[in-house]
Amino acid sequence: MIEVQGIRLDPDERRAWRGNEELALSRKEFDLLHCLMARAGDIVSREELMLEVWQTTFWTSSKTIDVHLGWVRRKLGDDSRHPYLITTVRGRGLRFETEDHRHLA
């Protein structure tokens, strides 16, 4: 079981929760969330995400990750304009944050 910022993920059962609410995630949404949460605090490049989640180095669409990320953020309740769970590190990739930094702003 992986737990970060109140989000729990069970890789074996392929289930995820926000608090006590189970999230309905597609296979790719789960894989994307798992890839990021397993390396919480680290930047995961888009190339690594394409390889690990989509098993390809070929970019079917530069928007593939963004579209799935948008769906995952919505289901997690993470505001895409001011995310506190999954942040974009410009030019480097995505990071699942280990702490909520909203109170510091």
Range(s) of the domain holding residue 21 = 2-104
Give how many domains the chain has, as a whole number: 1
Condensed to tens digits (0 to 9), the pLDDT of residues 2-27 reads: 999 999 999 999 999 999 999 999 99
Phi, psi of 89 (to 5 degrees): -105, 100
Residue 18 dihedral angles phi and psi, to the nearest 5°:
-115, 110
In the chain, what percentage of residues exceed pLDDT 90? 75
CA atoms of 21 and 105, how far apart (whole Å):
28
Distance (Å, whole) CA 38 – CA 35: 5
What three-state secondary structure class fits 63?
coil
Give the global pTM.
Answer: 0.92
- Each residue's pLDDT tens digit, 23-59: 999 999 999 999 999 999 999 999 899 999 988 876 6
Average pLDDT of the chain? 91
CATH number assigned to the domain comprising residue 21: 1.10.10.10
Q: How far apart are CA 13 and CA 25, in angstroms?
A: 12
**Share above pLDDT 70 across residues of the chain, in percent, rounded to a whole number:** 91
